[in-house]
Amino acid sequence: MSKFFSAKYAALTPYVPGEQPKDAQYIKLNTNESPFAPPASVVAAAKQEAGKLHLYSDPESALLTKKAAEVWGVKDTQILMTNGSDEALNFAFMAFCDQTHPIVFPDITYGFYPVFAELNGIPYEKIPLKEDFSVDYHDYVGISKNIVIANPNAPTGLALPLWQIEEIVKSNPDNVVIIDEAYVDFGGESCVPLIEKYDNLLITQTFSKSRSLAGARLGLAIGNETLIADLNTVKYSTNPYNVNRMTAAAGYAALCEAQWFESNCAAIQENRAYTAAALKKMGFTVLDSKTNFLFAKSDKIGGRALYEKLKAKGVLVRQFNAPRIADFVRITIGTKEQMDALIERTAEVLEEEK
Ligand code: PMP
């Protein structure tokens, strides 16, 4: 730390992204990216915009926003396009939380929430998941605090039904409830239809997973237009050109590929079921994932050891050294071939453990 670093950040522990190793070619199942490249039309759209990189992007991302409004069935004033959904989440923490408006989230969830809170000087409280790693929605009913819940949750992959989300939103009318739907397209129930009914509901989604655009950095926030206007105030005070030209064009093209999107999500769900069945056969406990990853625990080897042994065999998964989940590994769903490699190498590791 330099002597110039602001005291307000001195205690900040930054978010740690999953490894992006440069030392070897891994079967990379550790950062929940899509294994499938985006369709050719999306790549072509980005390439075409590359010729205009001397010009700023449209700060309103108007074309993209209009198209997104059509796809999500809302008004364009109810949407803000962002640089990944991480940016939408950070804007929401900045806009709606402060010393007197703390935020609450599960103890096991997306690791960026406490970082956004600490970055912005926001007090936060973690509510333990149930024994079975699900969110107990009763814990959030009528608590009169801002809330963020990933639904489906990460890294567990478990989802709450829509009616439980509605109970949470309805019972906290004077607070903002943020529902992070980064993984919703793989089997969760989206709460976007509730935004007309509740002015305190903000939803974030991403193009990083189900639309295969993690490298483009594109996300969005959906909610009542007054919430979106507040997010815009923060955006125009932070980074007006937050979505670059190539990404906006790629995002627009991606939204025109409805059929590709459906089959992309279906392929991931099929590979997920296939992998879950194989892992269970090997004695793993596998949580009921509604996402593009599995959270699984072996009865024969600890999480850290399994992570390390798989890495030595060229397969990268993610393991969290945190209470209650240290024996789990999080496995991103890849292609069928990648899943076969994971299953094979896992079987070898278990054999070597005997
Ligand atoms: N929410 C959750 C639960 C996530 O796992 C991620 C991906 N790391 C994000 C949000 C952010 O994704 P992105 O910024 O790529 O949209």
Domains of the chain: 14-36+258-353 (3.90.1150.10), 40-255 (3.40.640.10)
Q: How far is the CA of 89 from the centre of ligand 1 (A)?
A: 9
pLDDT of residue 177: 98
Q: Quick one: average pLDDT of 210-227?
A: 98
Q: Quick one: average pLDDT of 205-230?
A: 98
Mutate to test the pocket of ligand 1, among 16, 30, 32, 85 (most ligand atoms within 8 A of CB): 85
Q: How far is the CA of 85 from the centre of ligand 1 (A)?
A: 6
Residue 350: both structure tokens together: 């278990």
Q: How far is the CA of 274 from the centre of ligand 1 (A)?
A: 24
**Which region among 3-12, 13-22, 68-77, 343-352 has the lowest average model confidence (pLDDT)?**
13-22
pTM of the model: 0.97
Cα–Cα nearest to 280, from 293, 298, 266: 298
pLDDT digits over 103-151, tens only?
A: 999 999 999 999 999 999 999 999 999 999 999 999 999 999 999 999 9
pLDDT band at residue 22, thresholds of 50, 70 and 90? confident
Half-sphere exposure of 64 (CA within 13 A, CB side): 27
pLDDT of residue 19: 84
pLDDT greater than 80 at residue 24 = no
pLDDT digits over 30-65, tens only?
A: 999 999 999 999 999 999 999 999 999 999 999 999
Q: Which long-range contacts (CB under 8 A, 24 or more apart) does 110-117 make?
A: 110/150, 110/154, 110/180, 110/182, 111/15, 111/16, 112/15, 112/86, 113/89, 113/148, 115/12, 115/13, 115/14, 115/15, 116/89, 116/90, 117/93
pLDDT greater than 90 at residue 240 = yes
Q: Is the minimum distance from the CB of 181 to ligand 1 under 6 angstroms?
A: no
Strand-pairing partners, residue 126, are: 105
Do 33 and 213 touch, CB atoms closer than 8 A? Answer: no
Q: What percent of the chain has pLDDT over 90?
A: 96
Q: Which long-range contacts (CB under 8 A, 24 or more apart) does 164-168 make?
A: 164/137, 165/137, 165/189, 165/191, 165/194, 166/191, 166/194, 166/198, 167/137, 167/141, 168/137, 168/140, 168/141
pLDDT greater than 80 at residue 23 = no
pLDDT of residue 281: 97
pLDDT of residue 133: 98
Q: Is the minimum distance from the CB of 159 to ligand 1 under 6 angstroms?
A: no
pLDDT greater than 90 at residue 20 = no
Q: From the alpha carbon of 83, which atom of ligand 1 is closest?
A: 14
Average pLDDT, rounded, for the chain: 97
How far is residue 250's CA from residue 47's CA, in Å, rounded to a whole number?
9
pLDDT greater than 80 at residue 337 = yes
pLDDT greater than 90 at residue 259 = yes
pLDDT greater than 90 at residue 21 = no
pLDDT greater than 80 at residue 300 = yes
pLDDT band at residue 249, thresholds of 50, 70 and 90? very high
pLDDT band at residue 18, thresholds of 50, 70 and 90? confident
Helices (H), 29-161: 40-50, 62-72, 84-96, 112-119
Q: From the alpha carbon of 217, which atom of ligand 1 is closest?
A: 15
